[in-house]
Amino acid sequence: MPEQEDSTAKVKTTFDPNILQDLLPLYYKRLFPHKQFYRWMSYGRSESSVFSNREFSFTLQDDIYIRYQSFETQQELEREICSKVPFKIDIGAVYNIRPKDHRGSTAVQPVQRELVFDIDMTDYDDIRTCCNEANVCQLCWKFMAIACRVLDEALREDFGFDHLLWVFSGRRGIHCWVSDKSARHLDTAARSAIAQYLNVLISGGEGTTSRVIIHDEMHHSVKRAYRIVAPLFEEICLEDQKIFGTPEGVKKLLALVQDQAVRAEIEKRLALVPCDSKSVWQEFIGYFEDMRKSGNSSRYRRYKFIGEEAILAFTYPRLDINVTKGFNHLLKSPFCVHPKTGKVCIPFNPNLASKFDPTDVPTITDLLNEVNTFDEKNTVEGEENRSKIKDYKKTSMFKGTVIFEEFLRKLEQTFKGKAVALSDMKMEF
């Protein structure tokens, strides 16, 4: 529908956090995808109590925190969201009882939960030079795009998961919700095993970067990750971030070499080259190439994969594995509005993660302005043309909602007809 695309105003406004409380009622009433959200959380009613036993947490204005909420229907959840107007909605686990009844029970246990991943840009502060803390730009977003590709391929190819929802966190990171039934029913030990499998980085200690250790040969999952990150290493680390262009950056590179004598030899060679990232990197790799050519195989064997280890150390995803391991860990819901930035936590296509621009994500102010602009253009002689176009389709949030719809369509194909079977099992004669 071209007219909808033309109607989306591209003029970005500066978000004022002080007016969020005034804008959220309109957002929840007109733009939040309540129906699609329920379709996701209810999983087609293919399992008993999968929605009614789900925990939702609301953070209200002034940091009032309400946990252990649960709802019976889409209408009840929507009514509560529009009534309480939460600044943040967190999604928890599905329990063996309704979470709202937890005070009267001594045996509250989580029974299922999406397998979730949380990647935060602040965990890259030791290697990114363009931004720090909560700030993010298109240059450091490339680290997020790499993380998305590496994890998406690993989760699909190594574990056979199909239903992954990738969401921008609204400020400085990304979340992944693995919603396959097999993933939702993993126990804590299995979640921990998957988290550890994907977490190949080893902490390098204070003031150094994390390390990757490859022994006699590269594991197939590490080899696949290397295939993804290696072609981007020069562009991101040497050109964009210029990681080794400072003494601190050089120190982080040298810290990857454990042998003090070898490290000292490299340090002497690096002192003779220009202090720019490309020259430092070429000299670093050149040292080990000379070692290989020297014929000292026993010495070189320890550093056979030093190039690959270094590239992975500076590009591999930095996971918050505690989020993944925790069965009942709360995670911010898609389509929330970040209270500091005003940006919406919108789903994105993992295959196009490199084209996603976090600085261009619409704020709640932008979205409501886009709705008003569309409606004004479709007002005829002072009377609004009451079309059937949903409000979110009038905005730049439309693309993210389409991605969510496509995710739901594929997910729902896996349990088509199971809701009917479940209903038949519950029939009393």
Angle at 166 (CA atoms; ends 163, 168), nearest 5 degrees: 165
Other Cβ atoms less than 10 A from the Cβ of 107: the count is: 6
Burial (CB < 10 A; 0-12, 13-18, 19+), residue 274, is exposed
Rounded CA separation 317/253 (Å): 18
Residue 420: in which H helix or E strand, if any? helix 418-426
Is residue 295 within 8 A of residue 281, CB to CB? The reply is: no
Cα 427–chain centre separation: 41
Helix (H, G, I), strand (E, B) or coil at 227: helix
Q: How far is CA 32 from CA 1, 85, 148, 179, in A?
A: 21, 11, 25, 21
Catalytic residue list: 55, 118, 120
The pair phi, psi for residue 396, each rounded to 5°, is -75, 0
How many alpha carbons fall within 13 Å on the CB side of residue 391? 15
Rounded CA separation 385/366 (Å): 22
Nearest by Cα to 246 from 275, 287, 209:
275
Beta-ladder partners of 274: none
- Would you list the DSSP string of 273-316? S-SSHHHHHHHHHHHHHHHHHTT-HHHHHTTTTHHHHHHHHHHS
